[in-house]
Chains A and B, each alone.
Chain A
Amino acid sequence: MAEFLVVPALLAYGEAAVAYAGELRGPGLAGRLATWGVRVGWLAQTALLIGQMVSADGFPWGTWAGALNLFVWLVVGAYLIWGCTPKYRLLGLTVMPFAAVLLALAWAGGGTTLDEGDRSGVVLAVHAVLMLAGFAGLTLAAGMAALYLWQERRLKRHERRVLRVRMPPLDALDRLAARTVLGSLVLLGIGIGVGASSFERGDFDAAMAVTLLILALYAGLLVLRHEGVRGRRAALLNLAGLALVAVVLPLTHFAG
């Protein structure tokens, strides 16, 4: 029964994605509907995840689709921290369509069903959750970067409606994206540490190499920031980083 909770979650996320587009016409009902869509969807997905956890003997999100399900929940959860404030509300424009599509993909891939799960132990489960939380943060940072580029384009082009549709301020987006990347790197670092504690000699594989590479690239992005790589260039690097994560990581983790 709990697995059907994916339907209200998906519907609510979809509704939020559409309502955020309506918010572009001006603040009001659409924005409130969007926020409630996110909240209701996240609660439904939380209930679904609890159902999966209760019915599983081990870690219920070991498959790519299961991991995607948990990943979406983490992304939306992290977004809710800022999404409820009017200033950052339009961040939902970049986050919620993405979340809805990924949840639909997780559903189609069987990641929302109740099954026994993967009996890989608590340490690996903690490792997986921390890694997914880290990547969720990087996804959110990429959402902010996308919004930054959009807002920058509007300001550069002197759009007449630039003050009517209130996007989050450029500098705030830039700083928040950098902080989110930093937080994500901390989570990834802890996740790698937890995972490494259960590894044995010879376990090092392509997935770990790619994860370390991504960690190093994002750390480099933060270092470059101090050298003046901010704003537009930082946003582009952020998006490129997420593209790398989205393409390479699933291949190395789940292929075969």
Chain B
Amino acid sequence: MKLTLTGVSHHRAPIELRERVALDLDACAALAERLDGEAVVLSTCNRTELYLVREDHAEELSVSTLTELAGDRGQELGAALYRLRDEAAALHLFRVAAGLDSLVPGEGEILGQVRSAFEAGSTGPFLDRLFRQALHAGRRVRMETAINESPASVPSAAAALAQQVFDDLSGRRVLVLGAGKMSEATARNLVSRGADVAVVANRTPAHGEELARRLAAQAVALDAVGAELERVDVVVSATSATGHVLSREAVAAALRARKGRPLLLVDLAVPRDLDPAINELDGCFLYDVDDLEAVVAETISGRRSEAARAERLVAEEADRFREWQAALDVVPTIASLRALAEEIRDSELARAGGRLSERERKHVESVTSQILAKLLHLPTIRMKEAAAAADGVVYADVVRHLFGLGEEERRR
């Protein structure tokens, strides 16, 4: 059986082409079913890939399927397609599951998408093993490296900092100052980690109300935020004001009512909205855009070094899969050899059966069974080792020739 992977991804295909071949999970399941044999369809916003296990015509089938999906953009598909087989295909899937093939290396969502694709696929022993090992590789990379722990943008860095202060963000209240894109992106990042945007304040009330509506929050006037400071945990500020929107004194006044609860303030505006002296207050942590960009730059460099470690882990897992796959080449020979040995043992026992008592027969059966097991143990191990070293087929041929395996069937 041969593993074939055919797909398009963000590396070579523009979004216009990727969206043509993108499928939801139900469609992936239906397509995998239609492709016959072992098949998994992985479709995310960055890629659509078909994993097939067939003896022949797998590639042609995959290409024609993707071309059909691409419709009138089918002619563009040729240049964007990649086709991989066996070890290369397995390694590719392991890298995908580990997030190493993603736009942002190490992103966490892909592992769940690979799992869903696997569960929706038509898998047999081969793809079952392949995808389970890919999921294991993905989990290993996330556990043993810090590749997915480092945010790659200012909004995600702000949200990660909030988690460093508050741990779980569920139920944490956020105050958003300003109704621009940056405030919204940061607020949404916090919401995605469990926080609630409680209040939005903006100089232009209509814009503030619009953002508040989108974030299911309450809109207030900018000069009313002092009272809100007592109740919120995170302040995100990105207004276009020319002076400080929040002074040290205003925050200090609110701290008395907060009873020691920490307050994270994220100032994304230039010029700055929040008085830098706020950071000196006990329990207040103020980050401006320069601080956040420095954190992001550091974490991105960390991602690169972690990616190198992750690649090594993925290569290890791919090697293990290759060994398993190679062993498959010799499994039929090993099975035939054992069947032949058992057949000989059974026939010899049958011939001697009349001359033995029940007790003797059981004893002889036990002894001959042990002899066979011991005799065949080493050749079995050696053949599997040879398979892992790519000599498996040669060894299997030699064993088949020496023991005449298959000749009996051919004579029949």
- Interface residues of A, Cβ cutoff 8 Å to B: 26-29, 86, 151, 155-156, 158, 160-164, 166-172, 225-234
**Contact of B164 with A156 in the complex, beta carbons under 8 Å:** no
**Contact of A160 with B295 in the complex, beta carbons under 8 Å:** yes
**Contact of B285 with A171 in the complex, beta carbons under 8 Å:** no
A selection of 9 A-B contacts at a CB cut-off of 8 Å is: A155-B161, A156-B285, A162-B164, A162-B295, A163-B151, A166-B146, A171-B166, A230-B260, A233-B282
In Å, the complex CA distance between A86 and B164 comes to 14
In Å, the complex CA distance between A27 and B313 comes to 14
In Å, the complex CA distance between A172 and B163 comes to 10
Answer whether A169 and B167 are a contact pair too, CB < 8 Å, given A161-B298, A164-B302, A228-B259.
Answer: yes
Which residues of chain B (121-162) have a CB below 8 Å from chain A?
A: 143-146, 149-151, 157, 160-161
B297 contacts chain A at the CB level, 8 A cutoff: yes
B188 contacts chain A at the CB level, 8 A cutoff: no
**Contact of B165 with A170 in the complex, beta carbons under 8 Å:** yes
B247 contacts chain A at the CB level, 8 A cutoff: no
Answer whether A155 and B302 are a contact pair too, CB < 8 Å, given A160-B294, A228-B259, A231-B283.
Answer: no
In Å, the complex CA distance between A172 and B169 comes to 11
Residues of chain A with a CB closer than 8 A to B285's CB: 155-156
Smallest CB-CB separation from B309: which chain A residue? A28
**Contact of B157 with A163 in the complex, beta carbons under 8 Å:** yes
| CB < 8 Å neighbour of A26 from B146, B167, B259, B283 | B146
B180 contacts chain A at the CB level, 8 A cutoff: no
Interface size class, chain B: 20 to 34
Smallest CB-CB separation from B302: which chain A residue? A164
B279 contacts chain A at the CB level, 8 A cutoff: yes
| CB < 8 Å neighbour of B279 from A156, A225, A231, A234 | A156
Residues of chain B with a CB closer than 8 A to A229's CB: 260
Which residues of chain B (268-314) have a CB below 8 Å from chain A?
A: 279, 282-283, 285, 287, 291, 294-295, 297-299, 302, 306, 309
**Contact of A26 with B302 in the complex, beta carbons under 8 Å:** yes
**Contact of A158 with B150 in the complex, beta carbons under 8 Å:** no
In Å, the complex CA distance between A27 and B287 comes to 25
In Å, the complex CA distance between A234 and B261 comes to 12
B205 contacts chain A at the CB level, 8 A cutoff: no
**Contact of B291 with A27 in the complex, beta carbons under 8 Å:** no
Taking A170-B164, A171-B262 as given, write out 6 further A-B residue pairs in contact, using a Cβ cutoff of 8 Å, ordered by the A residue number: A26-B145, A86-B143, A160-B298, A169-B165, A226-B259, A228-B259
In Å, the complex CA distance between A29 and B309 comes to 11
**Contact of A163 with B161 in the complex, beta carbons under 8 Å:** yes
Expressed in whole angstroms, the minimum distance between the Cβ of B292 and any Cβ of chain A is: 9
Expressed in whole angstroms, the minimum distance between the Cβ of B388 and any Cβ of chain A is: 26
**Contact of A27 with B146 in the complex, beta carbons under 8 Å:** yes
| CB < 8 Å neighbour of B161 from A156, A160, A162, A171 | A162
Residues of chain B with a CB closer than 8 A to A166's CB: 146, 149, 164
Answer whether A158 and B291 are a contact pair too, CB < 8 Å, given A28-B145, A163-B149, A163-B164.
Answer: yes
Residues of chain B with a CB closer than 8 A to A232's CB: 282-283
Residues of chain A with a CB closer than 8 A to B259's CB: 226-228, 230
Which residues of chain B (47-83) have a CB below 8 Å from chain A?
A: none
In Å, the complex CA distance between A147 and B294 comes to 23
* Chain A CB within 10 Å, residue with most, of B144, B167, B287: B167
Residues of chain B with a CB closer than 8 A to A172's CB: 167
Answer whether A164 and B145 are a contact pair too, CB < 8 Å, given A169-B163, A170-B164, A230-B259.
Answer: no
